[in-house]
Chains A and B, each alone.
Chain A
Amino acid sequence: MCLAIPAKVLSISGVNAKVDFGGNIIREVDVSLVNVKVGDYVLVHAGYAIQVLSKEEAEETLRLWKEILTLL
């Protein structure tokens, strides 16, 4: 029920945005819960974007993981 899926924001009009889930799946979602701009990745849960996903943080996580492993 509460699977949340990342999607890319294609366009925004008012509270709604067109997002691309990949594999040709394009849907309209409500973006009132986040501050978002075209090109951002959002986490979508039951028709609402609940967070903007940070690409920098994602890359930083991977970098940190590799570092942790070399320190262990």
Chain B
Amino acid sequence: METQLKFRDPNLTKEVLKYIKNLAPNYEVKFCHVCGTHEWVITHYGIRSLLPEKIDVIAGPGCPVCIVPAKEIDEAIWIALNKATVLTFGDMVRVPGSKISLLQAKASGGKVKIVYSVKDAVKIAKQNPNEEFVFFAVGFETTAPSTALEITRDPPKNLSFLISHRLIPPVMELLLGIGDLHIDGFIAPGHVSTIIGLKPYEIFPKVYRMPTVIAGFEPLDVLFALLTLLKQVSHKEARLENEYSRSVKWEGNLKAQKLINEVFEVTDGIWRGLGKVPNSALKLKEKFSYLDARLKYEIKIESSRDLLPGCCCHLVIIGKIKPPECPLFMKTCTPQTPKGSCMVSSEGTCAIWAKYGAAKI
């Protein structure tokens, strides 16, 4: 869309920055986003360095690769070594489990294959009817609808699912309960909101008096979201606003929501480094339990461990520290040799900072 180009208008950007400077208070204000793509936009375009001194933007648990707990990666590794070929997205194979990653499991004989979508997983299983396959289904509300869709399409008998989907609003609520985090406003994730719409965010202004703005992924989208949040903060208001209306409708994508509700039920979920987050995960409904890899195979794993010694991913994920504050950052932990999950995915905060440098700590 050529309109898209206008979302990069340098004059408009300058204007917005001017207003942000004028509105900036003389006390510290901290806004939190929960989306790997937002972190990419903010760091890639050096947005932090353009903001007034007192305004900080922190990255919450917004990368679906970073937050998969070691236990669930260990489950996938066990399946790959003992029972079936694990099919999953590229980033997932490099995330460390308690001891090794799926990629390392593959090097020692495990069966692991990268797919681009759940549709590819279905295709591969159909083409190889005598082999067993498991789709390791990770991702937030953005990815869950496609998993649900293929499940309703009666997948081949030799394909089952290791479901590790997570939901964003419950973890945002958890962030507000973390004592010394002191968030002043949320930038809500654009693609997750495209699916779920605005309603699930209403509790943030209503119950927590937290300004919340849904933003798109052009630099101007993020700057306007920041401006809108600042306006609310300076007027001591808390409202829910949708800056990304070209994609996010109030009701969201109803077809996608219907599929999620048909296939999954909400349950508590473990997030890497955060522990249990109430009502933040999806599991297969009973009528689809025959597709559940956890029930199909008696997965045997020992106790799991989310963080290797020294790794601070649990603090990076909640925006408590920025990557250079981790003692391992760019020393023993690099994109080539990741020690923690945040260094793996192209949407992981540490990997983004490794690539584009520290704009502002």
Task: List residues of A whose CB falls within 8 A of some B CB.
Answer: 1-4, 6, 30, 32-34, 41, 43, 45-48, 50-51, 53-55, 57-62, 65-66, 68-69, 72
Least distance between A10 CB and chain B CB atoms (Å): 15
With beta carbons under 8 angstroms apart, the residue of A33, A41, A60, A66 that contacts B245 is A60
The answer for the CA separation of A14 and B2 in the assembled complex, in Å, is 28
With beta carbons under 8 angstroms apart, the residue of B4, B36, B245 that contacts A57 is B245
Least distance between B68 CB and chain A CB atoms (Å): 10
Cβ–Cβ < 8 Å partners of A41 in chain B: 1
Cβ–Cβ < 8 Å partners of A45 in chain B: 142-143, 146, 191
Cβ–Cβ < 8 Å partners of B116 in chain A: 46-47
With beta carbons under 8 angstroms apart, the residue of A48, A58, A66 that contacts B3 is A58
B4–A1 CB distance below 8 A: no
Q: A48-B149, A58-B7 are in contact. List 7 more A-B contacts (CB 8 A).
A: A1-B65, A2-B142, A33-B259, A43-B194, A46-B118, A62-B3, A72-B22
A-B contact count (CB 8 A): 120
A1–B1 CB distance below 8 A: no
B36–A54 CB distance below 8 A: no
With beta carbons under 8 angstroms apart, the residue of A1, A58, A61, A65 that contacts B345 is A1
20 A-B pairs in the complex with CB atoms less than 8 angstroms apart: A1-B90, A1-B91, A33-B255, A43-B194, A45-B143, A45-B191, A46-B143, A47-B146, A48-B149, A50-B145, A53-B1, A57-B246, A60-B245, A61-B246, A62-B3, A65-B12, A65-B16, A65-B220, A65-B224, A69-B12
The contact string, 1 if C-beta is below 8 Å from chain A, for chain B 279-292, is: 00000000000000
Interface membership of B64, Cβ < 8 A = yes
B149–A6 CB distance below 8 A: no
Q: How many residues of B contact A (CB 8 A)?
A: 50
Q: Known: A4-B191, A46-B116. Is A53-B246 also a contact (CB below 8 A)?
A: yes
Cβ–Cβ < 8 Å partners of A30 in chain B: 117, 119, 146, 149
Cβ–Cβ < 8 Å partners of A68 in chain B: 224, 227
Cβ–Cβ < 8 Å partners of A46 in chain B: 89, 116-118, 139, 143, 146
Closest to B190 in A: A4
With beta carbons under 8 angstroms apart, the residue of A4, A50, A58, A66 that contacts B256 is A50
Least distance between A56 CB and chain B CB atoms (Å): 8
Identify the 7 closest CB pairs spanning chains A and B, nearest first.
Answer: A47-B117, A57-B246, A58-B246, A58-B3, A48-B146, A46-B117, A51-B194
Interface membership of B15, Cβ < 8 A = yes
Interface membership of B349, Cβ < 8 A = no
Q: Known: A6-B1, A62-B3. Is A69-B246 also a contact (CB below 8 A)?
A: no
B64–A2 CB distance below 8 A: yes
Least distance between A19 CB and chain B CB atoms (Å): 13
Interface residues of B in 47-78 (CB under 8 A from A): 63-65
Cβ–Cβ < 8 Å partners of A60 in chain B: 245
The contact string, 1 if C-beta is below 8 Å from chain A, for chain B 1-42, is: 101101100001001100100100000000000001100000
A58–B117 CB distance below 8 A: no
The answer for the CA separation of A4 and B146 in the assembled complex, in Å, is 13
The answer for the CA separation of A68 and B140 in the assembled complex, in Å, is 33
Least distance between A48 CB and chain B CB atoms (Å): 4
A59–B146 CB distance below 8 A: no
The answer for the CA separation of A44 and B90 in the assembled complex, in Å, is 17
